[in-house]
Amino acid sequence: MNGALWIWRNFRFLLPGDWELLQFTRRPGEGRCAWADRCAFRLEFVWRAVPGPPDFDRMMGDYAAKLETEGARKLRRERRDAWHGIAAEQGGRPISRFGAYFDRESCVVELVFPWPEERSPALERAVLAAVREEPPDAAGRRRWRAFGLDLRVDGRLDLAECRVAPGSAEFRFADERGRRIVRCRRLGLRPFWMKTGVADWVRGQTRDWRAARETSERREGHEVFRREGDAPTGFLERALRGRKCAGMEAWICPADDRLYAREWRGPAPFAEDEGRRGALGCAGCGGLGA
Amino acid sequence: MTAKSVPPTPANWRALLAARPVRNAAAAAEETDDGGVRIGVRKADAWWRRAPWKWAVPGGDLRYTVLDRLGRELWEICDGRTVEEIVEEMARRHRLTFHESRTAVTPLLRELIRRGALAIALSPPNDQVNIR
């Protein structure tokens, strides 16, 4: 399958190119995502962190019984490699569900395929075979890839916010106390709102930073503008925690004409590390690879 | 399987995408200075809009909807195409994905229909041939 790569909550998926992520949850413990083609939902990804591998035989039996009481018909147990599945008809449509346990993430994952018409075993097999855990890299950075953003961020940060609107996507990662923050954005529809160049846009976004240093470089066909400095802090915060360093880099990807921006804030060692090793890439052109 | 596993959302957009919004032929559209458009639609008939009451009740016979440049583009391509074709066209022009374009286009179409600037055509366009 010549598909698109998605990475969410440390799981990677290879899905048909016209499937888009329309629903998502940020919580790492338990949540769901749903992808749709242009007409209907096609795949649901449900996860739940568990202390150890579950008893799949019993779980599938209970699950089949539950589906039967919910009106599912023609239930059939199936197996695809590590995936335990149940195929059924629900509401007059075929639906197949597969579950598996992933050791590294200590997580039970369920994939639900609500088929619009006929079930496609080949597509189902291809999607299941491509599901993998995405381990952190050697520096402990986690990769996320969705909504045209491909990024690597410090593994100690959680996804605190994800905002998606037409022509705009934003991920904000933060630690528990909100002291370390990484924010990645991808903004489209530029002719309607962007009246300046990238450098001026970055300066406008970081107007209150002090002791700012600016650099500009060409990276893989992208003109990247970077600004680093001290983010404003209150007197007490500065006295207790020291400087809050910040940085931002931005560029326009020629492939999709969108503005990409990555911003980080935190104590000096964090900001230095994030500035040096953090990465944001354009999923569209595959450039500035994360 | 997972504790709170829920059946997948049955939502699909087929019917919505197949609809054909068309401009209200009686609507008066005029260009605005910022490249948008001002659409005037006649208000529904009511006793206070007839003489002699209308001389005392403020407001004209038309209700105006002002659209920005993007809204104007959308208004102009509502020429009998299906919603799916409109979404595709807007996605192509502004380099959006299909669903980005759909989530931008459909609320505006809904609002324009509510305000009477657009209507949903029930019959197929003249050039459509139905093979039976």
What tens digit of pLDDT does each residue of A242-290 get? 788 999 999 999 999 999 999 999 999 999 999 888 889 888 787 775 5
Q: Chain B window 74-93: which residues touch A at a Cβ cutoff of 8 Å?
A: 84
**Prediction ipTM score:** 0.89
Q: Which residue of B has its CA nearest to A63?
A: B1
> Is the model's pLDDT at A59 over the cut of 70?
yes
Q: Determine the Cα–Cα distance for residues A238 and B119; give it in Å rounded to an integer.
A: 60
State the Cα–Cα distance between residues B51 and B49, nearest whole angstrom: 7
Contacts of residue B32, Cβ cutoff 8 Å, sequence gap at least 6: B38, B66
> In angstroms, how far is the first alpha carbon of chain B from the final one?
46
- The most distant pair of C-alpha atoms in chain A lies apart, rounded to whole Å, by 68
**Within 13 Å of residue A82, how many CA atoms lie on the same side as its CB?**
15
pLDDT tens across A9-53, in order?
Answer: 999 999 999 999 999 999 999 999 999 999 999 999 999 999 999
* CATH topology match: A4-133 vs A141-285: yes
Helices (H), A83-197: 121-130, 190-193
> What does the pLDDT look like over B54-101, one tens digit per residue?
777 777 778 899 999 999 999 999 999 999 999 999 999 999 999 999
- Regarding pTM above 0.95, the answer is no
Name the pairing type of β-strands A210-219 and A149-154. unpaired
pLDDT at A63 over 70: yes
C-alpha–C-alpha distance, residues A103 and A133, integer Å: 9
Place B1 in a pLDDT band, splitting at 50, 70 and 90: low
Class of domain A141-285: alpha beta
Q: Does residue A106 surpass a pLDDT of 50?
A: yes
Residues of B in contact with A29 (CB under 8 A): none
The pLDDT, as a whole number, for residue A7 is 97
Cβ of B4 under 8 Å from any chain A Cβ?
yes
Smallest Cβ–Cβ distance between B9 and the set A41, A70, A95 belongs to A41
CB-based contact B1 A32, cutoff 8 Å: no
What's the confidence (pLDDT) of residue B101? 96
Q: What residues of chain A lie within 8 A of the CB of B103, using their CB?
A: 165-166
Nearest by CB to A48, which of B2, B84, B102? B2
Closest CA to B65 of B101, B98, B14, B114: B114
Q: What pLDDT does residue A113 have?
A: 95
Q: And the tokens for A3?
A: 């598909």
Q: Which chain B residues are within 8 Å of A95, Cβ to Cβ? A: 7-8
B-chain residues near A97 (CB < 8 A): 1
For residue B14, what is the nearest residue in chain A, using CA coordinates? A39
Q: Which of A48, A97, A256 is facing B3, going by the closest CB pair?
A: A48
Domain ranges of chain A: 4-133, 141-285
Query: Given an 8 Å threshold on Cβ–Cβ distance, is A41 in contact with B14?
Result: no
Q: Which pLDDT value is given to residue B13? A: 84
CATH of span A4-133: 3.40.1000.10
Q: How far apart are CA A41 and CA A24, in angstroms?
A: 13
> Average pLDDT over chain A, rounded to whole?
92
Residues of A in contact with B89 (CB under 8 A): none
Please check whether residue B126 touches A, CB under 8 A.
Answer: no
Report how far apart the first and last C-alpha atoms of chain A are (Å, whole number): 23
Q: In Å, how far is B32's CA from the nearest CA of chain A? A: 16
